[in-house]
Chain A
Amino acid sequence: MNVPLYEKLWMWASGVLIVAFLTTVAIGVASSALQPPSHVETIDPAKVWTDPRFTARGVTVDSAGVTVVAVAIMFAFNPAELRVPAHRPIKFRLTSADVTHGFQIVGTNANTMVVPGYVSEFTTSFDRPGEYLIVCNEYCGLSHHVMSGKLIVEEARP
């Protein structure tokens, strides 16, 4: 195939651009473990309220670290308000007791789908203390737009 010079240059430049994009993705993955939440764990959605993994809902702080456990239902998060310390890794564990929901902390990159039958898990930390809005970002029915919660990040007391 005979390709004119300028187009050849363009095609090489396109290749370089794509490799550059992929390199940034690879660096993110390798260096800062910047990965989408991809935990694989299943749960019976009919038994969420009695499953020991989800009976202690809310924030627990122990030697293992800070863990948030919450359940999404039409049209609320349970619990609706979470208080966590700043600057510490926080593990979120979420599931749904009915349809598919989303869990997004506005103003951060904390974002995951919450799907019945599955446990979503991701770890993140918050450097700015304050009050954050949590929204459901997957359509879950007619009151989807009111499904929200609150995250309060507190400066750790000495």
Chain B
Amino acid sequence: MTPLDRLSLAHLWVSILAFGAAAAMAFMQALSRANLDLPWRSAKMYYLSVTAHGVLMALVFTTFFIMGFGYVVATRVLGRPVAAPRLAWTAFWTALAGTLGAAAAILSGRATVLYTFYPPLRAHPAFYIGAALLIVGSWLWAIALLATYRAWRRDHAGEPAPLAMHGMLATVIVWLLATVGVAAEVVLLLIPWSLGWTRTVDPILARMLFWYFGHPLVYFWLLPAYVIWYTVLPRAAGGKLFSDPLARLVFILFIVLSTPVGFHHQFMDPGVPAGWKLLHTFLTFGILFPSLVTAFTVTASLEVAGRMRGATGLLDWLGKLPWGDPLFSSVALSMILFAVGGFGGAINASFGMNAVVHNTAWIQGHFHLTVGSAVALTFMGACYWLVPRLSGRDLELKLLAKVQPYFWFLGMLCFSIANHLTGLMGMPRRIYDASYGGSAAASQWFGLTGLSAVGGLLLFTSAGFFMLVMIGTGLAGPKREPEAIEWAEPLQPVDPKPSLLDRFGLWTALAILLIAIAYAYPLWAHLQMPRFGSPGYSPF
């Protein structure tokens, strides 16, 4: 194993272990849904575990995977060492220290504020400082990747970046733009307040800063998954990428549109004028476009693969695809789940209609399809592909790896269908117990909460299979010859001349302009109002 692979692999292992711990938490939550009378079940444990599950899944599993994957792309696609290895390791240790600090605060019961940590619920300062360190670590990672790209650029003046790197650059830019918001929230508002240096905090200002970050956060998760769909999946399927320039266009659109949309998470908030919510709604629907283009290009690439494998009919190419390969099946199934989640997302974003689903179980049904499947299942599939190639060990327990994606798919269908429906029937999310003192309305949710628990068990089983395969591979996988990591080729050769789509500076400037239009005035106007802050409250 080269030192470079050790860097990527270290990130993947933190990511995998965080996933395993978070899945264990989910097990208890899923059983809680079924209202089983288990001895260790309590409200305190429930909310503590939802906090740990949300933070570990949404912030740790994803971020560490993406950091590691970024290094894989930089070293294997650009074919050069990371430009600043010391900086890269500092980034790793900083992010890990932050994660451990926040985890300690959560597990000791001093930060039961959920992963959105809305003030005035107040956590131990270690939670906020840990979060800040995780972000600082990710910034150092961004610098290390950008430095590597610049070094490559010096030797390849006038060439467009390879597509995978193009996608990772978009990821880095979206992340840098987004994290400004949460860094401001945590460093300027929450850390001083949790240390007692300031007395109060304005909860709506905090929510504005959080959701300025919170929506592009989902694209930070999704773009590396798209990189895998565009540059890994077609090859795993035995074919080629249908269109390279359109993929570039998609990544550029995400840079431009990811951030100026955060008010769609605050539709139901007082203190935010409806006109600004409407503007953000329009931009939000704009981001549907690159995802719709992706749906076509990736599906077309799979058809190309099926035909290269000998399919001739209208749909028989589907059957020719390698459904027994865990990389392929994970990613393909994740895309199907994402399509379902996308429709739900259009409903969430529909301004007035959001009132029907806001903060109901529908929302947890929705995001387990998107981040919990499109992203997470893609990343799991990528681990089956990357861990053997980086560590030089063959996959252990291959049969479990083969069936794992199907368990996830089935479990997620039960879990998310049940949650979408109970949400429409008015069941709130984030509740330990759904009985509401035997209320008639609440009693109608019960059959479906059982289905959700069954889905949760299937998901937990799937996560367990994944962990067994990974840990088995890491500890006991048979040694094998190092193997090149290969990437999909486009159907048409890439144009050697860079185009407008390779002008990252230009598109970033446009993104900043749109952010200014969408946020500068509402934030300024908000700060002008007479506002009253809130002191902190402990959740119990």
Chain A contact residues, CB within 8 Å of chain B? 1, 3-4, 6-7, 10-11, 14-15, 17-18, 21-22, 24-25, 28-29, 34-46, 74, 98-100, 102, 104, 106-107, 109-121, 131-133, 135-146, 148
Contact = CB atoms under 8 A, between A and B. Distances in A.
A4 B300 CA distance: 11
B523 interface: no
A145 B434 contact: yes
Nearest to B433: A145
B203 interface: yes
12 contacts: A3-B245, A18-B285, A35-B352, A36-B355, A37-B355, A113-B269, A117-B204, A117-B532, A139-B121, A140-B539, A141-B121, A142-B539
Interface string B422-448: 000111111111101101111000000
A135 B426 contact: yes
Contacts of B540: 141-143
Contacts of A146: 433, 436-437
Interface in B351-372: 351-356, 358-360
Given A42-B531, A142-B112, A118 B436 contact: no
B399 interface: no
Nearest to B47: A142
A148 B273 contact: no
A111 B534 contact: no
Interface of B: 43-44, 47, 112, 114, 118, 120-121, 202-204, 207, 242-243, 245-246, 249, 266-274, 277-278, 281-282, 285-286, 288-289, 292-293, 296-297, 300, 346, 350-356, 358-360, 425-434, 436-437, 439-442, 499, 529-534, 537-540
B359 A104 contact: yes
Nearest to A110: B355
Contacts of A43: 532
A130 to B, nearest CB: 10
B329 to A, nearest CB: 25
B356 A109 contact: yes
Contact of A104 (B272, B281, B428): B428
Given A21-B350, A139-B114, A142-B43, A40 B529 contact: yes
Contacts of A99: 120-121, 534, 537
A50 B131 CA distance: 38
Contact of B246 (A7, A17, A21): A7
A40 to B, nearest CB: 6
Given A106-B426, A117-B532, A18 B43 contact: no
A14 B441 contact: no
A36 B268 contact: yes
A115 B204 contact: yes
A22 B354 CA distance: 14
